[in-house]
Structure 1
């Protein structure tokens, strides 16, 4: 299959830099990583993808009429449709009523690769901005549980809004926490322990049904924390903050001390999550439409957020830590999907290779559904890569890993 690597002459680079709204520093970044800058000229040819909430299929005609375009079914991805890239959905009635939401098809593939089954307990370790979380919840339906974690409170609050908008939060619980050290097992594991069923526990310490109303004390505590915390790089407290839980998420009736009870080293082997998604923070260089936004945000902001050398070094370390901790929380026989929307080898294959070298109980797994996907194999066998030229999607890397028994 075609590679994204491309040796450009100095003249070609100069011409390309003049024809695309990309700063020289980014052109150099792409060149250093063997990536072809011309993919960013494809932004206007890549369709916009939407996911139609299951149960709304009978309303296709109304949705098409409102959006003034044809919904082209994505044959390899259930419930996904392609629409022209210029069509905006945010102002539509279907969007406001929670019938459709925007989500790149490659991101949908990452969720589908997990092969979530009824009754599974699923962990989304880097949940924001929430589209994958909604899809996971949709697939789970009325069984199992879904735990979402993100380090940024305001971004996780946006996830909460999405779950409520689409009526998908019944079996979900959301934690503001550092994904590299998060250690809370599925609620069902806590509920099955003797400590949770003991008589004589003070009922005031048990979780009641969730409400958006917070006490004055909680509001004051959060206001104080917000003043001392950067918006994007939130440093959470040692104990995760539970900001939402559905009625059937396993939290209602649970004692606080049991929910936040530290786990034993070998406990996840039998009581961990069945499926874990680690859609790790990255440079987002494969998200073509995301890169386009910096035309308005300013390329200096891009330089600071994406290309700063110290930040990229920290990212690589963070990605490996997230992968390691997600795998730690996975039960034996379970599956983990590691993904990023970067096209670089450093943030994808290199991270996976480092992880496999230090984790003998980890094994790369074939994504069976990918036989019909418009993607190509990564540098490591069994890994997958989506990109604009091959897939007509944004760039995405997927590696599926299973946990073997010791």
Structure 2
């Protein structure tokens, strides 16, 4: 018998906490095993991600009404309190009594039954004070926003430095929003209208992307691979921002494109479609297993020009020197531009990302050797930190006077990029946070 949405959400939270798993992996494992119906799966997903996105704020409310500090509670009890408080505070359509009573029952069934009284008391106090919840305060704006939107304070300060308080708050709100799933239409096999028709026949809520052609946005679905449009190779999952990085490179039929950090393959696929499956794409990665997925995806989509090769992007490969019309360097990064899709990323420690700029510089330096005279290097990341973006680009240009920034233009709110590099901010573009830098090698 399938479990309830709340019980499934608890199982996913427990798996995420115990295994240190990625949120999507933890949730998908539970949904695959428990198989709740579509309505419960959607509610489970909403609760699970909502708790991860808002855990600091939820704990603030719990602490305000509990005689036991959240840090002293048994982890399973705290998980249950969090998912129950999330329903009370953030989901207005959930009946208050249902959120409280089911929270208590979850404690009795999945945690220490002796904690049921505490959970009942805390939830009832919060339910009685929904119109006057404790104020969120802080020593300064950064500390307040960090608590309000459950981001680490150091990261909030970095965003404020870039965007100011109002811009940073808009970004934090976007990080905690529902991004949906973005997919690109494989124009070799289908068009947007036929794909939308297929998705709707599968019961998926889908719409054309508001400004990027051949792109669709799916909502309230998790298992994309079961959809006819996916299985038949008419779509592949990729955010609009990543597609724009390939558009900046402007690959054309007959070109040789080298994708230096290719897995899971989205940029190679977008390049193949732009090239009308004519030319050559070499998709490289350091992990053979990841490249197997790229090959599988290319076969499903019908992109015969894609070949894969295990290649360390920091290690010179003399046979590739001066050969590629376009080199795509979508480098490993801290990932702070995709927090709305992978909320756990926000909890990375600052010191754990400190070594990335050096790695990124090494990759850009090495991959640039593969660009033929007159060719292009497109450097991109899915992060929003200057030290991994503009600073790396500046260091590269300082070391390579044979490259220069080339202006480009992209659709929608991005528009003209006369400087040759741009940052896509989720609160402005509705895409992932992304950095794109277009570098032309002198002939």
- TM-score, normalised to structure 1, is 0.66
C-alpha contact (below 8 Å) 1:336/1:402 kept by paired residues: yes
Aligned pairs for 1:231-242 (under 5 A) are: none
Aligned pairs for 1:281-292 (under 5 A) are: 281-292=332-343
Deviations 1:127-181 (A, max 9, x none): 012111211122223421111111222222222222222222x222212221012
CA positional deviation for 1:83: 3.5
Distance in 1, Cα, partners of 2:312 & 2:341: 24
Specify whether residues 37 and 128 from structure 1 end up closer, same or farther in structure 2 by C-alpha distance, changes over 3 A only. Answer: farther
The answer for the alignment partner of 2:186 in structure 1 is 53
Q: Does 1:69 align with 2:205?
A: yes
C-alpha contact (below 8 Å) 2:183/2:235 kept by paired residues: yes
C-alpha contact (below 8 Å) 1:377/1:385 kept by paired residues: no
Alignment counterpart, residue 121 of structure 1, candidates 238, 247, 256? 256
The answer for the alignment partner of 2:353 in structure 1 is 312
Max Rg structure: 2
Deviations 1:357-396 (A, max 9, x none): 11111011011x32x4312788x92211111111011111
More contact order relative to length (CA 8 Å, sep ≥ 6): 1
Q: Does 1:374 align with 2:424?
A: no
Q: Does 1:102 align with 2:153?
A: no
Q: How many residues align?
A: 299
Deviations 1:64-115 (A, max 9, x none): 332432422443x33112344x443343222233222221101100011111
Distance in 2, Cα, partners of 1:280 & 1:13: 29
Specify whether residues 67 and 16 from structure 1 end up closer, same or farther in structure 2 by C-alpha distance, changes over 3 A only. Answer: farther
CA positional deviation for 1:324: 1.4
SS of alignment partner, residue 293 of structure 2: helix
Alignment counterpart, residue 13 of structure 1, candidates 142, 167, 183? 142
C-alpha contact (below 8 Å) 2:225/2:231 kept by paired residues: yes
Deviations 1:251-309 (A, max 9, x none): xxxxxxxxxxxxxxxx62xxx100110001110011123441459xxx4xx33xxx3x2
Distance in 1, Cα, partners of 2:316 & 2:271: 20
Aligned pairs for 1:251-262 (under 5 A) are: none
- TM-score, normalised to structure 2, is 0.61
CA positional deviation for 1:34: 6.3
The answer for the alignment partner of 2:270 in structure 1 is 135
Specify whether residues 9 and 31 from structure 1 end up closer, same or farther in structure 2 by C-alpha distance, changes over 3 A only. Answer: farther
**Structure 2: stretches of 5+ with no match in the other structure:** 1-136
The answer for the alignment partner of 1:398 in structure 2 is 436
Aligned pairs for 1:144-223 (under 5 A) are: 144-168=279-303, 170-183=304-317, 185=319
Distance in 1, Cα, partners of 2:416 & 2:353: 25
SS of alignment partner, residue 178 of structure 1: coil
C-alpha contact (below 8 Å) 1:375/1:387 kept by paired residues: no
Deviations 1:327-386 (A, max 9, x none): 11100111111111111111111111111111111011011x32x4312788x9221111
Specify whether residues 28 and 13 from structure 1 end up closer, same or farther in structure 2 by C-alpha distance, changes over 3 A only. Answer: closer
The answer for the alignment partner of 1:44 in structure 2 is 177
CA positional deviation for 1:25: 5.3
Alignment counterpart, residue 331 of structure 1, candidates 334, 350, 372? 372
Distance in 2, Cα, partners of 1:400 & 1:67: 40
Root-mean-square deviation (CA, aligned residues, Å) is 2.7
Distance in 2, Cα, partners of 1:399 & 1:87: 33
